[in-house]
Chain A
Amino acid sequence: MLELRDVTKMVAGEYHIHPTSLTLERGSLNVLLGPTLSGKTSLMRLMAGLDRPSSGSVVFDGKDVTGLPVQSRNVAMVYQQFINYPALTVYENIASPMRIAGKDQQTIDKAVRKAADLLKLTPYLDRTPLNLSGGQQQRTALARAIVKNASLVLLDEPLANLDYKLREELREELPKIFAESGAIFVYATTEPSEALLLGGNTATLCEGRITQFGQTISVYRNPADLITAKTFGDPPLNTLPVVKAGTIFRAGAAEIAVPSHLAHIADGPLTIAFQPHHLKRSMEIPAAQALTVRTLISEIAGSESFVHVAFGDARWVMLAHGIHDIDPDQNITLYLDTSRLMAFGPDGRSLAATA
C-alpha cells in the first residue's frame, strides 16, 4: 500500500503539487488523468522518490520512505519515449534488472521467457531494440518493468508515441498483465478514453491538484465537480450556465424542465452539464427536452457523427450514432436526455444528491 500524506511540491515559490493525500492499494491499477502540465509527472516523481516532497510524507506498507532515494526503493518506471539499452538484445534488456539484482541464470531465464511470452516478444528476443517497431520497443520496456518485480510500477503516458491501433492492442493487454503481477500500477494519460478502457481507479488532476479519486467509471458517471467532469469529457463536456427558478432552468429565453433527480436543488444560478451522447437527433426518450440549436460543423467518424452546435453563447457537441451530415448554419431541433443531466453550483461543486 502506498500512501501520500499531505505531500506538496514547490518549485521557485510556486506549487507544482498542492497538498495531496492519496492511498493506492496493492494490486490496483490507478490512472492519473489530466492535461499536459497538470502535475501527473510531478506526482509520479514524488511517488518514485525521484523528487523529495516539499512537505508531507510518503508511506509504503506502513513504513515512512519520504527521504529514501529511488535506488533504495523497489520501483519500476516506463516513459513515453522508448527507453532501452540500444546495445543489448531484447533478452538482455528484459533481464537487466535481474542481473543487477544478482539473480541466478535459471531464475532469470524463466522470468524473461515468461514476460516475453506475455508481451508477445518471444520471436524478437535475439534482436536489438533499434531493429524493432515502436510498439515492440515499448513492449520491451514494459517487460523489463515487469520482471523487476517492483512493488510500484509507474507508467508515464507509455502509449503516447504509438500508433492508434497499437495503443488499442496494448491497452487491452495491459490490465491482464497488471492483474497478474500484484504490484501497484500508476498510469498517467491525457486521454479520458484511455482511462475508461483501462478501468481500475482514476485520479483526475488539474493544475497540480487531485480533483477526485475513485473507481474510474464512477468518477466518470458521478464527478464531484465541474473540473473533474470536464477533464473526463471526450468529446468535450457540454455545459450551460442557467438560473433555476422552481421547476425550470432558465438560460436566456430558453427553458429546460428540471428533471426529478435535480429537483432538490435550491433556486439560483448554477451550471448544468451533460455528455455529448445524451444530446439526441430524435426523441428516443419521452422525457427528452427539445432544444433549438444552430449547427456549426458536422464530423463523420464512421459509426458515429459529431455535430458541433451553438446554443446561445454555448458551444456543444452532439455525438450521434450513424451518419448525420448537417449543413452549417441551420436551425435544428435536438433532444436532451435530462435524466442524465449534471448540475454544478457557482463554486463548481456537484449538486447531485449523494446516492
Chain B
Amino acid sequence: MQKTWNNKAWFLVLPVLLLVAFSAVIPLMTVVNYSVQDTFGNNEFFWNGTDWFTEILHSDRFWDALVRNLSFSVIILAIEIPLGIVIALNMPKKGVGVSVCLVLMALPLLIPWNVVGTIWQVFGRVDIGLLGHTLEALGINYNYTQDPFAAWITVIVMDVWHWTSLVVLLCYAGLVSIPDAYYQAAKIDGASRWSVFRYIQLPKMKRVLLIAVLLRFMDSFMIYTEPFVVTGGGPGNSTTFLSIDLVKMAVGQFDLGPAAAMSIIYFLIILLLSWVFYTVMTQSDAEA
C-alpha cells in the first residue's frame, strides 16, 4: 500500500523534473563548461580554470555595468513601490470603477517588452515623437541618443510605465483582503489616515509587497530589451547594463568563455541578492 502511494507521487512530478532538467540544468551546465575553457573555434577546447572569472572580476567594464544595474534597480524600486502603493490605496474598493481600474492597470502588462521599447523610442524622438518634439519645443534639451541623462530618464520612465501596474495589482489584492472591521475599529480609535496606513494597511500588504519587491528587483536587474531597443546601450556605454554587455561579448565579439563566466557571476549575484532580500524581509516579518 505504502509503495503505490510513493510511486504515484513520483510519476506526477516526473514531467516537471524533466522540463527543469532540459530548460535549466542542462543549459546551465553548458555555460559552466564554457566558462572554464577557451576555444578558437573548430570545436577545440582548452582548459583554463578560473582565468575567465579572474579576468571578468578585474575588468572595469564589468564593474561599471554592475553599478549601472544596481543603480537602475534601486531607482525603479524607489519609484515603483511607493507609487504602486499610492495608486492601490486610491483605487475604488467597490462598484463599476473597480473593473475599469483593473483593466486599465493590466493594459501595460499585456504589452511585450520590445513593443514597449519601440513605442517609447518613437514617442521620445525629437524629430517625429510627440514627447520629444514637445519637450524640444518647450526649450528643454532632450535627446536620448546623445545625452546620457536623458537616456537614463527614458529607460526609467519606460520601466515605471510598464511595471508599476504589477505593484498596484499586488497591493490592491492585499488591501481588499482587509476586513471592514479593521477600518471601523480604527475610526473608533480615532486613528489618522497615516496611522491607518502604517498600522493596518502596510502590515496587511507586507506579504504581497515582499513578492512585488522580489519580482521587480529580479526583473529590473535582468533588464535587457528596453535599453537594447531604445538606446542600444548608449550613448557611449551609459545604458550598457550587464545583460547588454553580456550579449555584446558573446554575440558581438564571440568571446564565449568570458561571456559564460560573466553570466555565471551575473546569475550568482541575482541569486545572492534575492536571497538577501528574502531573508531580510521574512525575518522582519517574523519579528513583527
Contact = CB atoms under 8 A, between A and B. Distances in A.
A68 interface: yes
A69 B1 CA distance: 10
B6 to A, nearest CB: 9
Interface in B1-30: 1-2, 4-5
Interface in A28-82: 52, 64, 66-69
A52 B1 CA distance: 12
Most B CB contacts (10 A, CB to CB) among A52, A64, A67, A69 go to A67
A66 B5 CA distance: 10
Contacts of B2: 66-67
B12 to A, nearest CB: 12
Nearest to B5: A67
B3 to A, nearest CB: 9
Give the bracket for the number of chain A residues in contact with chain B: under 10
Contacts of B1: 64, 66-68
A66 B3 CA distance: 12
B71 to A, nearest CB: 42
A66 B4 CA distance: 12
Nearest to B2: A67
Nearest to A68: B1
A68 B5 CA distance: 8
B30 to A, nearest CB: 39
Contacts of B5: 52, 67, 69
Interface in A178-235: none
B10 to A, nearest CB: 15
Contacts of A64: 1
Contacts of B4: 67
A75 to B, nearest CB: 17
Interface in B73-94: none
Contacts of A52: 5
A4 B5 CA distance: 19
Interface in A268-326: none
Nearest to B4: A67
A69 B6 CA distance: 12
A64 B5 CA distance: 14
A69 B5 CA distance: 8
Contacts of A66: 1-2
B151 to A, nearest CB: 52
Contacts of A68: 1
Nearest to B6: A67
Nearest to A52: B5
A46 B4 CA distance: 18
Nearest to A64: B1
Nearest to B1: A67
Interface-central residue, B1, B2, B4, by most chain A CB under 10 Å: B1
B11 to A, nearest CB: 14
A220 to B, nearest CB: 37
A64 B4 CA distance: 14
A316 to B, nearest CB: 35
A69 B2 CA distance: 11
B15 to A, nearest CB: 20
B8 to A, nearest CB: 9
Interface string A109-147: 000000000000000000000000000000000000000
A330 to B, nearest CB: 37
A91 B2 CA distance: 39
A191 to B, nearest CB: 25
A84 B5 CA distance: 30
Nearest to B8: A69
A69 B9 CA distance: 12
Contacts of A67: 1-2, 4-5
A67 B5 CA distance: 7
A63 B1 CA distance: 12
A276 B5 CA distance: 51
A231 B138 CA distance: 80
B65 to A, nearest CB: 44
Nearest to A69: B5
Interface of B: 1-2, 4-5
Interface of A: 52, 64, 66-69
The 6 A-B residue pairs whose C-beta atoms are closest, nearest first, are: A67-B1, A67-B5, A67-B2, A66-B1, A64-B1, A67-B4
10 contacts: A52-B5, A64-B1, A66-B1, A66-B2, A67-B1, A67-B2, A67-B4, A67-B5, A68-B1, A69-B5
Given A66-B1, A67-B5, 8 more contacts: A52-B5, A64-B1, A66-B2, A67-B1, A67-B2, A67-B4, A68-B1, A69-B5
